[in-house]
Amino acid sequence: MNLERALQTFIEESRELLSAMEDALLALESAPGDGDAINAVFRAMHTIKGSAGLFGLDAIVEFTHVAESVMDRVRSDEIAVDESLIALMLRCRDHLVTLIDDLASGQQGEHAAVGAALVQALQALLGGGSNATVAVATENAAPQPEAGANATTGEGVGNDAWHISVRFAGNLLRNGYDPLSFVRYLATLSEILHVEPVTDALPPAQEMDPEECYLGFEIRLAAGPAQADIEAAFEFVQDDCSLLILPPHAPLTDYALLIATRPEADEQLGALLVSCGALTEAEVAQVLSAADATPELVVAATPAPAVAPAAAPAARQGREATTVKRSSSAIRVDASKLDQLIDLVGELVIAGASAEVMARRSRDRNLMEANSSVSQLVDAIRDSALRLRMVEIGETFNRFRRVVRDVSQELGKEIELTITGAETELDKSVVERIGDPLMHLVRNAMDHGIETAEVRVQQGKPAAGSLKLHAYHDSGSIVIEISDDGRGLDKERILAKAQERGLVAAGQTLSDQEIYGLIFQPGFSTAEQVTNLSGRGVGMDVVRRNIDALRGAIELDSRPGVGTTVSIRLPLTLAIIEGFLVGVGEAAYIIPLDSVVECIELDHGAIGQQNYLNLRGRVLPFLRLRELFHSRGQPARRQNVVVVRYAGQSAGLVVDRLMGEFQTVIKPLGRMFRHLRGFAGSTILGSGEVALILDVQDLIRTATERHCHAAEIAAECVETV
């Protein structure tokens, strides 16, 4: 039995439900009558309440019960969906997030005052008073017969109570559930009048298994809650128990069904029913004699072990259908296990490369064919393992619906968020680390970029500003764009601020992209005043640093009065890539294959000492890696140029040897080498040697800068002449 694991599952599922609840509430702002969204909010509260009750989390149970009651009234059109209700339920959601976070961290914060204030606001919607939640449950309960009915009319004893008969499966404890937690949860619905434990299945002490459950209960619960609420208490163990629920004043025939379907002896179970106050001794005798006279009653009773016998036939069939064991198409796997799997696959790729080298050296045809088959299987395993960690970016994007709503209200602006490409997938580790940079960019776009409604109307724009999040795949990378239709970046103001801080020399000429790039300098800000959102010069430098750490790139494109688009380009995975192996001097280097366009032979006679060549009528700057890396030895007689492309820019890399494709397991560089430019990591070759992985983005930038610098010098020389 592992209660800690079950509690962790509850925490994860609650967070997912609260995230879905937030999305549903935001959807209700534009579509107040959306029944699916209303049900999603209700379902989140209902499910969290039921799960929390199993762990004895009374604070969460009591709070969600009131919130659930409000949403139940909303479902029945007794409470209207308006802005104030949505705002209140969002605050309730935030409060639950805080409680769940405290539970996850093992710390207990002081949130009672916040919870009490929210409960008071919720109860005001229910009509106020401490009995408001009971009234909601009572209204949903099935109509009850008049008091005073007795056995002569076919009904049980007259006390006004539900009867709950439950027998738990042996694996209940192993699945992390406490039988008493169900009794405690029922006590939150109404008063428990009597509980009779059923221990007939209990073996002798020496034969008992401490992880096996042998318990059952016969429970009398005071009237008030609806049958659906009682059934919900056992929702998460419906496959691990046999449940029968009898309504108040149920006829004796229902109790006959109960006795017939239970494994205990009829007389013994009858005694339990008398002990808990469900039947009198005379009624038990009547039930048992009727069963003896009509043995077919047993046959009729057996198909419905988890349904209230008094339910209508149609309802009974519907509930029976829910008791069929459901097969799940998804399982929850701890992220650390996936990381371990990826690491092992990486080692398998390295071992496979080593085996391939040895097979080639042996020139044994059978060995080479066998190794080829193994390599194909390794490729398939690698691809499957990497797909396990691929998740849609839509979950990250949807977080910003709430951010946009709250920030736009704080700023007094009208801002509409549009999300496209939410189905685009990338590695989970990348998704987890991209959230904070996106948060900075979204908040900056709303604060600095989008104007107020009054200013926009004066400029002939729609009153509501537009903010767009878009994602798509491009050449083995994922591109995320954050666009707004605001005022755009003020180049003159940015340049003046940079000159004021000494970042740019007076009279120095910069391109638009270079000017825009200045906003990523630490502490750089053009804001006239500091706000809760921005103005302190903190954020954009952190964005670039985080993007660089992910081997990504960030670019800005802005037009005054039209808007700004920030493009972030990221690798799909941080673990394994397809590489292109090249040799320079005595060393080998890896170029990410998705950035390789083509390979051409270097014509020394045509280029001389130039750092560019004519590629089919287009100027292509290039870098001689031998010179850049100070390689030893003589250059090869025939050198090649590997044409690479990244984010729309191209450059050439001059190498000595082309050595073919190579599966590359990325190993991070140590702290000592992190300052080196031009390298994105390292890998281990099949021979056991270490090869460095080239940072194509940085090399293209270096080649372009050198070419532009050389062009400027040439232009100055022409002017001098």
Tell whether 333 is covered by a domain.
no
550 with 581, same domain? Answer: no
C-alpha 1/C-alpha 721 separation (Å) is 88
C-alpha 569/C-alpha 712 separation (Å) is 30
Tell whether 327 is covered by a domain.
no
Whether 574 contacts 547, CB under 8 Å: no
401 with 546, same domain? Answer: yes
| Strand duo 587-592 + 576-584: pairing | antiparallel
The pLDDT value given to residue 566: 92
Report the Cα 331 to chain-centroid distance in Å. Answer: 14
Cα(first)–Cα(last) distance of the chain, in Å?
A: 88
- In the beta sheet, which residues pair with residue 582? 589, 658
Whether 83 contacts 106, CB under 8 Å: no
C-alpha 449/C-alpha 556 separation (Å) is 13
The residues of the chain scoring below 70 in pLDDT are 1-3, 128-159, 290-330, 475-476, 526-539, 606, 608, 647, 674, 709-721
The pLDDT value given to residue 641: 93
CATH number, domain at 654? 2.40.50.180
The pLDDT value given to residue 655: 92
169 with 195, same domain? Answer: yes
Length, in residues, of the chain: 721
Number of neighbouring beta carbons within 10 Å of residue 621: 22
The pLDDT value given to residue 582: 93
C-alpha 51/C-alpha 87 separation (Å) is 25
Beta carbons within 8 Å of 450's beta carbon, 6+ residues apart = 413, 415, 465, 466, 467, 484, 485, 486, 487
Q: Which helix (H) or strand (E) holds 556?
A: strand 553-559
Q: What pTM value is reported for the model?
A: 0.60
The pLDDT value given to residue 539: 63
The pLDDT value given to residue 309: 39
Q: How far is residue 702 from each of residues 42, 625, 628, measured CA to CA in Å? A: 57, 12, 10
284 with 186, same domain? Answer: yes
Residue span of the structural domain in which 197 resides: 151-322
436 with 499, same domain? Answer: yes
43 with 115, same domain? Answer: yes
The pLDDT value given to residue 467: 94
Provide the residue type at 664 as one letter. Answer: T
Q: What is the pLDDT of residues 377-395, one digit of tens each?
A: 888 888 888 888 888 898 8
Residue 691: name the closest of 717, 667, 656, 707 by CA.
667
436 with 542, same domain? Answer: yes
517 with 404, same domain? Answer: yes
The pLDDT value given to residue 302: 37
Kindly write down the DSSP assignment for every residue of 68-91, as one continuous string.
Answer: HHHHHHHHTTSS---HHHHHHHHH
Instruction: Compute the CA torsion angle 27, 28, 33, 34 (nearest 10 deg).
Output: 30
The pLDDT value given to residue 290: 64
The pLDDT value given to residue 527: 60
In the listed set 117, 140, 163, which residue is the last one of a domain according to the structure?
140
